[in-house]
């Protein structure tokens, strides 16, 4: 799924003076359990280019690395971005993280989830804004003690544009808090990756069991628990897999309700072919039917977990959950009928699929899973 968008994130000149100071207790405590990242040999690859510096009390650090991530909005973001409610953040949150040294995926996740406790070597800034570009950005500093919002007096200028999944901007900011003076000046052009919080704890199916589980579990209906993309679009609906077209291939249909803030919801149907790619489930889109002309053919890869497909693509985050297979669920129904002449009840016992029982039983006395 790809729905193009071009957005400008408003960044007005701001002067913020808060009438309180923040004690240094948090910094002291955070220093006891610093995050070690600079020495991590598995660093995340950069998502773009950046040119800029960060000055901390006159000590200047050059910033070389940049990472763009999009995540879901949380209640804390409502306060951070000064909006009325979580509904104003329906397009998700974009974080642009700029550092002097490369960092690992684990460190990036800790920053996104407000669990970063600092590093002796890593310095940088994180720019955060709402995905639709309707609200101004906020920033935090990545310091030895962790991520700091920078209270006190702050002046910032610049602009950030989001175009077709890339974020391009130039921002200057000066923050004075007590005796500390922090200044950053950056210009950048970066891609953005989806990094939504893991909502399922089921482990992936082991490699030696993958084929058997794949063939067993794929046929049937799957509900869409999450489908979000880099733009503001999301989708709900089902995937129905009704045909095994080759020994390890299935065919099915997505039936989707596509939602974009500010526009009417639209119905889309997309035929898909399902194959396996190693220990991944691979979905290739085919014919598309519906009123949404901006919907494009999907190419998605998933981890197969217990009753779940978790994955998507570079621009889509998708979670599908298998629904109970009613065709394989059987029950027992005992039906009471009456002979109108003798007025004596007679019992008819029937064993059949649950769907048929629901249709045909005149009076259900007992039903149990078979």
Residue 313 lies in a domain: yes
345 shares a domain with 310: no
Residue 356 lies in a domain: yes
At which of 286, 302, 322 does a domain end? Answer: 322
Residue 202 lies in a domain: no
Please give the backbone phi and psi of residue 56, each rounded to the nearest 5 degrees, phi first: -120, 105
275 shares a domain with 350: no
Residue 1 lies in a domain: no
Q: What is the pLDDT of residue 123?
A: 97
Who wins on pLDDT, 111 or 359?
Answer: 111
Give me the chain's average pLDDT, please. 81
127 shares a domain with 96: yes
The tally of domains found in the chain comes to 3
Taking CA atoms, 341 is separated from 134, 344, 345, in Å, by: 76, 8, 11
At which of 168, 194, 220 does a domain end? Answer: 194
Tell me the residue ranges of DSSP E strands in 178-326. 180-191, 193-194, 220-229, 234-246, 249-259, 266-277, 280-290, 299-305, 308-313, 316-322
144 shares a domain with 52: yes
Residue 71 domain boundaries: 6-194
Residue 200 lies in a domain: no
**Considering Cα of 280, then 204, then 94, then 128, what sign does the dihedral take?**
negative
- The distance of Cα 300 from the centroid of its chain, to the nearest Å, equals 15
- Give tens-digit pLDDT for 112-151: 999 999 999 999 999 999 988 888 899 999 999 999 988 8
pTM (predicted TM-score): 0.72
Who wins on pLDDT, 300 or 351?
Answer: 300
146 shares a domain with 31: yes
Q: What is the pLDDT of residue 6?
A: 53
Q: What is the mean pLDDT of residues 303-323?
A: 93
Residue 199 lies in a domain: no
Vertex 104: Cα angle to 193 and 298 (nearest 5): 25
Cα(225)–Cα(318) distance, rounded to whole angstroms?
Answer: 8
Who wins on pLDDT, 93 or 40?
Answer: 93
Percent of the chain with pLDDT over 70: 76
36 shares a domain with 160: yes
138 shares a domain with 227: no
277 shares a domain with 154: no
Q: Which residues pair with 190 in a beta bridge?
A: 48, 167
Question: DSSP label at 169?
Answer: E
Query: Which residue from 262, 320, 260, 316 is spatially nearest to 293, judged by alpha carbons?
Result: 260
Residue 341 lies in a domain: yes
219 shares a domain with 134: no
Percent of the chain with pLDDT over 90: 59
166 shares a domain with 18: yes
353 shares a domain with 337: yes
Q: How many CA atoms lie within 13 A of 283 on its CB side?
A: 28
Which CATH number covers residue 238? 2.40.128.120
- Beta strand pairing call for 299-305 and 280-290: antiparallel
Residue 155 lies in a domain: yes
264 shares a domain with 181: no
């Amino acid at each position: 799924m790809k729905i193009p968008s071009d957005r400008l994130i408003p960044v007005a000149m701001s002067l913020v003076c808060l009438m309180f100071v923040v004690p240094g207790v948090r910094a002291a405590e955070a220093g006891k359990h610093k995050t070690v990242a600079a020495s991590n040999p598995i660093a995340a690859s950069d998502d773009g280019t950046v040119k800029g510096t960060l000055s901390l009390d006159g000590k200047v650090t050059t910033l070389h690395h940049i990472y763009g991530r999009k995540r879901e909005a949380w209640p804390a973001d409502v306060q951070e971005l000064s909006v009325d409610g979580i509904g104003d953040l329906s397009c998700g949150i974009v974080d642009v993280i700029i550092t002097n040294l490369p960092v690992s995926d684990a460190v990036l996740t800790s920053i996104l989830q407000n669990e970063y406790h600092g590093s002796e070597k890593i310095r940088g800034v994180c720019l955060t804004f709402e995905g639709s570009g309707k609200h101004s950005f906020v920033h935090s500093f990545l310091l030895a003690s962790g991520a700091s919002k920078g209270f006190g007096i702050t002046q910032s200028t610049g602009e950030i544009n989001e175009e077709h999944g890339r974020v391009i901007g130039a921002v200057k900011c000066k923050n004075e808090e007590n005796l500390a003076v922090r200044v950053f000046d950056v210009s950048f052009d970066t891609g953005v990756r989806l990094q939504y919080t893991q909502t399922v704890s089921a482990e992936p199916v082991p490699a030696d069991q993958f084929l058997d589980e794949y063939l067993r579990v794929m046929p049937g209906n799957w509900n869409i628990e999450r489908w979000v993309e880099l733009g503001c679009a999301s989708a709900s609906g089902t995937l129905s897999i009704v045909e095994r077209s080759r020994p390890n291939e299935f065919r099915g249909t997505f039936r989707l309700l596509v939602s974009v803030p500010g526009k009417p919801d639209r119905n889309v149907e997309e035929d898909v072919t399902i194959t396996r790619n190693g220990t991944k489930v691979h979905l290739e889109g085919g014919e598309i039917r519906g009123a949404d002309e901006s919907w494009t053919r999907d190419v998605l890869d998933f981890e197969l977990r217990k009753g779940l497909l978790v994955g998507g693509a570079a621009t889509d985050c998708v979670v599908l959950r298998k629904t109970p297979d009613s065709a394989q669920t059987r029950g027992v129904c005992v039906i009471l009928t009456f002979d109108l002449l003798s007025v004596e009840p007679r019992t008819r016992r029937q064993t059949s699929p649950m769907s048929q029982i629901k249709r045909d039983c005149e009076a259900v006395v007992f039903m149990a899973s078979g």
